[in-house]
Chain A
Amino acid sequence: MLGDQPWLVVENLWWHGVDGMPGARSEYDVLASDTFSDREAPSPLVSLKARPRTAEQ
């Protein structure tokens, strides 16, 4: 049924745990615990110049 959409299997495991093990999570929980999108990405630092340069300069 999910042959063309294998990721749905993963979603089911992810949200509902493994059959027969209430509250249990899939073996992939460990993998997904540190995803790229969970990590903090520093933003580029931008600050105002103390003395802006004018067109004449």
Chain B
Amino acid sequence: MSPPRERAAAARRRRAQGTVDTFSGARLGIARRIARLPRTELAARVGISPAAITQLERDQIRPTTALAAELTLALGVPSEFLLRSVSPHPIPASSAHFRSLRSTPAMSRDQALAFAELGLEVLTAVEDFVDLPRVALPVLDVSRRDTPEGLAQAARQARDALGVADGPVPHVVRLLETHGVFVVTLPDELTDRRVDAFSTAAARRPVVLLSPLKDDKARSRFDSAHELGHLLLHYDAEPGSKVIENQAHTFAAAFLTPADEVADDLPRRLDWPAFHHAKRRWGVSLKALVYRAHSLKLLNESAYRRANVRLAEWGNPEPGPLGPPESPSLLGTAIAMLGEIGVTIHDVAEHASLPVESVQDIVDAATDRRPHIDLA
């Protein structure tokens, strides 16, 4: 039989079995994107057309029981994953600020977005039981975001509005979470090296997704501050341009190391011990501090060049690690609190209409993953 005839015969057999009325197209889309399967590939695996996959994902048609089972098998998810999404949270790809938009394959971006969408579903279910911090990000004057002075001013406004005292920012991720941002770390197994970090303000809560591959506190803090810059400066801007990325970078530097405060800690010559101490004090990498010293005209061109040669020789990770990256804690805290009153992760999973494994994946991604030693 030719492929179209085979497909028609298979469709007739499936129709005889009835359809799955509780099927969720949104969940199918999430599972397919997390599995990094193009529609054509999934369609070929289950013997239907790519257009039918699109229709299923848009809830325009329902699958038969047999097709739903085949989709489940092809995607490697428990059968309940594809049933009844309580509250889907699609994140438009066009709203997400990916650091290396052009060099990141669309499939990897899609995978990260799908994981964030799943995270928002879990968060929504948890919010039915607990009150989480409300979204309280300041609205900044972005009219001068195209100048370093304007960005420095925006960073200062942001520090004031977010309640950051003068001096180093203690914990950037926690600062985001206390102001209602949902922060998750992409699981190792889903991480494409080219996916750096991304943020979006287009979901019901602002989302920041961090890469687990930057196993370094200084770099992760800068990433988080960079994404905060996007959330505050670029909610109206089309993601992806070098201009926008540079603005977020300049914002992050000014946010973590305000010029008038860090200047006294930065050397006027290539003094590595001084840079190292500034790193420990401000929680910012040597590389970023050298760049900062140069942009503040504290380090001359020649010293800056020599510093970069040295930094390149050291590579990543650079000397003087500050420890593991900052981790989110919001969801883990909420789940632990629910556990104390007898609401288990199984209850949350049932409430979210999700498999327990999926909820656990999200909780792990949004929780401090450092090992804890209980001395009691």
Binding site for B on A (CB under 8 A): 5-7, 9-10, 13, 28, 31-32, 34-37, 39-49, 52-55
Contact = CB atoms under 8 A, between A and B. Distances in A.
Contacts of A9: 272-273
B132 interface: yes
Given A10-B276, A44-B178, A39 B167 contact: yes
Interface residues of B, number: 41
Contacts, number: 98
A57 B128 CA distance: 10
Contact of A44 (B283, B319, B333, B341): B333
Interface in B306-356: 319-320, 322-323, 329-330, 333-334, 337-338, 341, 351
Given A6-B272, A32-B277, A48 B129 contact: yes
Contacts of A47: 130-131, 337
Contact of B133 (A10, A44, A49): A44
B150 interface: no
B333 A31 contact: no
Contacts of A35: 168, 280-281, 283
B219 to A, nearest CB: 14
Given A7-B273, A7-B320, A40 B333 contact: no
B338 to A, nearest CB: 8
B140 interface: no
Contacts of B165: 39
Contact of B273 (A6, A40, A43, A54): A6
Contacts of B167: 34, 39
Contact of B277 (A5, A31, A42): A31
Contacts of B334: 46
Given A7-B276, A34-B167, A36-B281, 11 more contacts: A6-B272, A6-B273, A7-B272, A9-B272, A13-B273, A31-B281, A34-B168, A36-B283, A39-B167, A43-B329, A49-B131
A46 B333 contact: yes
Given A48-B341, A49-B131, A37 B333 contact: no
A37 B322 contact: yes
Given A46-B330, A49-B128, A37 B278 contact: no
B171 interface: yes
A46 B281 contact: no
A43 B174 contact: yes
16 contacts: A7-B320, A9-B272, A10-B273, A28-B277, A34-B167, A34-B281, A37-B283, A41-B171, A41-B174, A44-B133, A46-B333, A47-B130, A48-B130, A53-B128, A54-B128, A55-B86
A49 B335 CA distance: 13
Contacts of B338: 48
Given A6-B273, A36-B168, A46 B283 contact: no
A46 B130 contact: yes
A36 B164 CA distance: 12
A49 B130 contact: yes
A41 B167 CA distance: 13
A40 B174 contact: no
Given A34-B168, A36-B169, A41 B131 contact: no
Nearest to B134: A45
Interface string B82-125: 00001000000000000000000000000000000000000000
A1 B318 CA distance: 19
B177 interface: yes
Contacts of B178: 42-45
A31 B169 CA distance: 15
Given A46-B131, A47-B131, A53-B128, A36 B170 contact: yes
A55 B87 CA distance: 11
A41 B278 CA distance: 19
